[in-house]
Amino acid sequence: MFYNIDCIEGAKKYLADSSVDLIITDPPYGIKGDTLHKHYNRNEKNVLDGYIEVPESEYKEFSERWIKEAERVLRPGGSIYIVSGYSNLHHILNALGQTSLTEINHIIWKYNFGVYTKNKYISSHYHILYYCKPAKKNAGRQGKKPTFNTFSRFSDSEKSESNGSLNYQDREDVWIINREYKPGKIKNKNELPSQLLIKMIQYSSNPGDTVCDFFLGSFSTAKIAIGLDRKATGFEKSAVAYNHQIKEIKKIIPGSLLSQLRVPPKNVLHKQGQPVSDKERKEIVTKFAALQKKGLTKKESLAEITKKTGRGYWSLLKIIDQKKV
Ligand SMILES: C[S@@+](CC[C@H](N)C(=O)[O-])C[C@H]1O[C@@H](n2cnc3c(N)ncnc32)[C@H](O)[C@@H]1O
């Protein structure tokens, strides 16, 4: 469900406590004379009118009020990502500090098409504040731990050309993701790129979860969420933006983006942390002895056993050294 209403009023009216699994949102920046869109969108004719700004003087109180609502509607263990420029970042950080939400990461999103400036550095990043609502113990669904699908995009064994771990690289907190250049298409000023949204949704939610955006703009979060088979909800105060996008969102087929996602190979260490049965222990020790007999080094033998058992070097070493068969 999507509502053409101020998000604070809308959340109070339409969203129950603890009803949302994930919030991804990009509030207005509250900057006077924001010219970013002029550089980025290039053709002003394709930018939808009706973007509603928040006066700088009201930004502090505004941030406190909507973030308090976001905290209320998020389920314990739910996650929130807030995209912010640097000018009013302190208000958002202070507002978050007044809630129970806990900081998980402060991500830097580096984009292209920064606003060109001659006598100072060119601004080409945004902040993404990734917080979670503390989980409640023994509270069923309400108490679920934060969702973080560590291996949803890259498995533990995938390497880059320079032999670095792709999983590690994808989970670093500086994200280099280009804005989308959509010539001829109608868009909201500051539209978030799909790759950015896909990344947050893949890591922090599962199919069927509810994803909410307090500031829908072009409904980009909602479109990607539905495409990835999540439920979506949110608010947009501008009637112009809402009326245009509410027609567009109906064209999105639930789950239609899932087939475009890369499927990472199975983790090599897929049994890491799981208890070892006596039977498995015996098999490992026997296999190790056989490989040693064949002339393999200790390291080569353990690498061979890792492939078969899904257990890491150190845990295998412990089993071999204990030799409890
Ligand atoms: C930065 S844009 C969001 C862009 C969006 N993430 C996208 O990718 O298109 C902020 C949006 O919030 C809307 N807005 C401003 N104040 C609002 C409020 N109080 N409640 C709901 N929407 C609001 C603006 O009209 C604008 O469309």
The tens digit of pLDDT for each residue in 88-117 reads 999 999 999 999 999 999 999 999 877 788
Same domain (yes/no): 79, 194: yes
81 lines ligand 1 (CB under 6 A): no
Q: What's the pLDDT tens digit per position in 249-304?
A: 999 999 999 999 999 999 998 888 889 999 999 999 999 999 999 999 999 999 99
Residues in Cβ contact with 24 at an 8 Å cutoff, skipping those fewer than 6 apart:
80, 81, 197, 200, 201, 211, 212, 213, 221
Q: Whose CA is nearest to atom 3 of ligand 1?
A: 217
Structure tokens at 227: 């495409």
Q: Per the domain annotation, does 309 fall within a domain? A: yes
Are 308 and 207 in a shared domain?
no
Residue 306 lies in domain: 278-322
pLDDT confidence tier of residue 140, bands split at 50, 70 and 90: low
Residue 272 resides in a domain: no
* Distance from the alpha carbon of residue 26 to the mean position of ligand 1, in angstroms: 7
110 domain residue, yes or no: yes
Spatial neighbors of 46 by CB under 8 A, at least 6 apart, are 182, 184, 185, 186, 187
CB count within 10 Å of CB 164 equals 11
What does residue 162 show for φ and ψ, rounded to 5 degrees?
Answer: -90, 20
Predicted local confidence at residue 37, as pLDDT: 45
81 and 135 inside one domain: yes
* 3-class DSSP state of 4: coil
CB atoms within 10 A of CB 295: 8
Helix spans in 114-259 (H): 166-170, 194-204, 220-227, 239-249
301 and 200 housed in the same domain: no
221 and 288 co-located in one domain:
no
Residues 178 and 228 in one domain: yes
**Any domain includes 267:** no
The distance in angstroms from the start CA to the end CA of the chain is 59
Same domain, 302 and 197: no
Residues 223 and 131 occupy one common structural domain: yes
Q: Are residues 303 and 159 in the same domain?
A: no
What pLDDT digit, counting tens, does each position of 51-90 carry? 898 999 999 999 999 999 999 999 999 999 999 999 999 9
Q: What is the pLDDT of residue 200?
A: 98
Residue with CA nearest ligand 1 atom 5: 217
Cα torsion 102, 7, 53, 217 to 10°: value is 90
Total number of domains constituting the chain: 2
Q: What is the pLDDT of residues 2-40, one digit of tens each?
A: 999 999 999 999 999 999 999 999 999 887 654 444 444
How far is it, in rounded angstroms, from Cα 199 to Cα 177? 10
Look up the CATH number of the domain holding residue 26. Answer: 3.40.50.150
Give the pTM: 0.89
User: Which of 215, 218, 235, 248 for a ligand 1 pocket mutation test, highest count of atoms within 8 Å of Cβ?
Assistant: 215
